[in-house]
Amino acid sequence: FKPVVALVGRPNVGKSTLFNRLTRSRAALVADYSGLTRDRHYGEGRVGDYPFLVIDTGGFEPVAKTGILKEMARQTEQAIAESDVVIFLVDARAGVNAHDHEIARMLRRAGPKVVLAVNKAEGMNSGQASAEFHELGLGTPHPISSAHGDGVVDLIEEALSQL
Ligand code: GDP
Ligand code: MG
């Protein structure tokens, strides 16, 4: 049994950056801008002796602004269906927004195992980085930095310990 971990979250929270760190590959395309065509990517990660599969759900096609919510919902539903545990990423610097709330609502309703990751938290006090994300109703927020690696091993251990 190799657990499947899906990365979900609105565009630009750092899903592909985390995917790259977990899989140590350039398989997922990291972009400094939104709107680029990005496919769904699958990779293999490992923490200590524990291998797992990771899905980057970043395949947001360039869509009209009105289409983003629908596309996010589709990607999130697919991720829930395909995975054993979901890592829901939000952005510590941007704070909570309406798209985060929409994804959180879907996750609360569908009820998969979820770990909430507050990305881009490097250099921030962890309590301060986490504070406003409790309101998403998905448990303890885990501050991480996908770019620098802070908190990433603990996050994966937390996700795998749910199984
Ligand atoms: P995705 O759309 O969710 O896949 O997000 P990306 O992985 O493409 O990242 C979006 C932007 O956030 C890029 O400019 C990344 O370099 C940046 N980013 C990702 N992780 C971090 C992080 O931990 N800290 C900071 N400061 N920026 C990050
Ligand atoms: Mg991406």
Reported pTM: 0.91
**Closest residue to atom 19 of ligand 1, CA basis:** 14
| Enclosing domain of residue 139 | 4-161
pLDDT digits (tens, 9 = 90+) for 3-17: 999 999 998 999 989
Tell which residue, 61, 8, 64, has the closest CA to residue 39: 61
**135 CA distance to ligand 1 centroid (A)?**
23
Q: How many CA atoms lie within 13 A of 106 on its CB side?
A: 22
Summarize the confidence of residues 46-58 as an average pLDDT.
86
Instruction: Kindly state if the Cβ of 68 falls inside 6 Å of ligand 1.
Output: no
pLDDT digits (tens, 9 = 90+) for 75-130: 899 899 999 999 999 999 999 999 999 999 999 999 999 999 999 999 999 999 99
Mean residue pLDDT of the chain comes to 87
What CATH number is attached to the domain comprising 117? 3.40.50.300
Instruction: Tell whether 113 is in a known binding site.
Output: no
The DSSP bridge pattern shows strands 4-8 and 85-91 to be parallel
ipTM: 0.99
What SS3 class is residue 162? coil
**Closest residue to atom 8 of ligand 1, CA basis:** 30
Query: Which of 31-35, 46-50, 76-80, 99-103 has the weakest average pLDDT?
Result: 31-35
**154 CA distance to ligand 1 centroid (A)?**
19
Given this model, what pLDDT does residue 32 score? 41
8 near 89, Cβ under 8 Å? yes
Instruction: Tell whether 153 is in a known binding site.
Output: no
Ligand 1: which atom is nearest the Cα of residue 119? 23
162 CA to centre of own chain: 16
Query: How far apart are the C-alpha atoms of 125 and 143, rounded to whole Å?
Result: 9
159 near 85, Cβ under 8 Å? yes
Given this model, what pLDDT does residue 37 score? 38
Could you give the number of structural domains in the chain?
A: 1
Q: Which residues pair with 43 in a beta bridge?
A: 54
pLDDT above 60 for 62: no
**Tokens standing for 36?**
């680029």
